[in-house]
A and B are shown apart, each in its own frame.
Chain A
Amino acid sequence: MTINGLKLNGPFAALWIAASEQKASTLAALYRLLTVNCVNIAYMTTGDAMADEPALCCIDRSEAAKVEAWFDNDPQLRDQIRVGSDVGLLTFYPHHSSLKMLGSALQLLGEHEIHVHGMASSISALSFVVAFEQLKEAGAVLSQGLQLPDSATPIRDVVKIRQEQR
């Protein structure tokens, strides 16, 4: 089973939005706050209509302190959102819409006790949210187990995007 590329991103701050009846309104308030302050969403999974489950939003680690400070000024965000430990994003492509490939990646990560906080597909890639301190190891595990071509190496993304409104 081969992949064409693998990318490592992070660190990101993991914002955990609590499972509650208020989750949809908390998400709306979070979207607004991130927009007003030009903070990008690197990754997110929500179950807006699934009140019994949390939502996860990842933002650049360098933005976390100021975002937490803004939460302190808003009772709903302060009470409903917890900033968790740092995470990294491990992305490989293509996934070929293959459950076999997903299964293989999960088996490898599970066998190496990589803590997977989340996972999501996009059009051609699969991204895993893992503990940041395990990101490098997770990258090595998948690049070997999923047969990254010899000519390719895992890419460590060092580009930071900072946005401002004028």
Chain B
Amino acid sequence: METIAIYSESVISTYGFNLLQRLIMGQVEVTFDQLSRWGALLQDIAHKPAFRLVWAQSCRPGGIKFYLLCDDGQWHKVKTFFDRCTEDRLGTWRRNAEGVDLLFFQGPHFGDRYGIMHYTHKVLTDKRIPVLAAVCSVATINLMLPVGRGETAKKELTCAFNIPMQKRTPG
């Protein structure tokens, strides 16, 4: 069965931009055969930290690197875990010294983001705002930006996208 939907957007629409500033980013690389031990250790953290974003990616044959973003107040709990990893020889962790701003937005539609990354990237490039990393998962697009650049990026993207039912002014 085929359903055809036709929509017209002179300006790409999204549901608004969310900004989290000065997050801590930690990263650790483990090998695939360490994955289950690493997962088990992760469940053992005494004081359960909450993450803002996690992602991982194969980085070389046999290895996968995990990235974790959390609030400053959660970092000491995460660090406890990373230190345990080091003790157990489960990868070497490091912390991004400067931290990051995380800008994220939803949609549009069911994870259908045709053209959205290109549009977003172009807006930021034109304004010389560097993207440290991007993560597109389900219907969310996450942009990691240098600390202090998130506010400007939010303002520029808010102006560039159409945000239905909301004022276009950021805030």
Contacts and interface: CB of A to CB of B under 8 A. Distances in A.
Contact of B38 (A27, A50, A106, A108): A106
A48 B145 CA distance: 10
A39 to B, nearest CB: 7
The A interface, classified by DSSP as helix, strand, loop or mixed, is: mixed
A149 interface: no
Interface residues of A, number: 55
A49 B36 contact: no
Contacts of A32: 118
Contacts of B92: none
30 contacts: A31-B118, A35-B117, A35-B118, A35-B119, A40-B113, A41-B114, A41-B136, A45-B55, A45-B136, A47-B57, A53-B65, A56-B58, A99-B42, A102-B39, A102-B51, A104-B39, A104-B43, A106-B35, A107-B37, A107-B39, A110-B35, A116-B35, A117-B58, A118-B56, A118-B58, A119-B55, A119-B57, A120-B54, A122-B137, A125-B138
Interface of B: 6, 32-45, 48-59, 64-66, 68, 78, 81, 104, 106, 110-119, 121, 125, 130-140
